[in-house]
Amino acid sequence: MVQWAGPTEFTFPLTEAQLEKYLAGCEGERPRRCVWTAMTGEGDVCGHIEIGAISYENNSASLCRVFVAPEYRGTGVCTPMVRQALAVGFDALGLRRIDLRVYAFNTPGIRCYEKAGFVKEGLLRKSQKVGDQLWDTVVMGVLREEWAGGNSPQAPAAR
């Protein structure tokens, strides 16, 4: 749960009420988040992705709650998911910056984000306590001008 949702917003066990409150953030003319279900070309659900913490004042947001179903991990579906979300952020929402936080041990995730254009910006050492462990968090970001270098795919419709 912490790996997908981070340290806030959700508690275990996940409930319908928590999900309804979460999805309410997608509503309105200026939603604070956009979420998508990722589908394969055959129509199978393979993941989930969000642009959250949208700041219209700062033209910035965070890529978060990226999840690839276990049977699709390592198949190359994550990078297109991330690129599609970035397309919405930069092309449709007009953002100038999108950042993310990923736990340092998630090397497949970090590789995916780098392929999609993110750059490592910092390390938050021992930033998240999970049980008896302290996890390091990598901060990554991508700017609109970096994205404009030809990465922009056709943007999906936001929910």
Q: Which residues pair with 51 in a beta bridge?
A: 34, 63
**Of the ranges 6-15, 32-41, 62-71, which one carries the lowest mean pLDDT score?**
6-15
Residue type, 3: Q
Is the pLDDT at 19 greater than 80? The verdict is no
Distance CA 48, CA 39 (A): 9
Query: What tokens appear for 8 in the block?
Result: 């806030």
The pTM (predicted TM-score) of the whole model is 0.81
Q: What is the pLDDT of residue 24?
A: 65
Query: What tokens appear for 157 in the block?
Result: 């419709």
HSE-CB for 36 with a 13 A CA cutoff: 23
Average predicted confidence (pLDDT) for the chain: 86
- For 116-132, what is the mean pLDDT? 95
How far apart are the two ends of the chain, measured CA to CA in Å?
22
Distance CA 120, CA 21 (A): 31
- For 110-123, what is the mean pLDDT? 96
What pLDDT digit, counting tens, does each position of 46-69 carry? 999 999 999 999 999 999 989 899
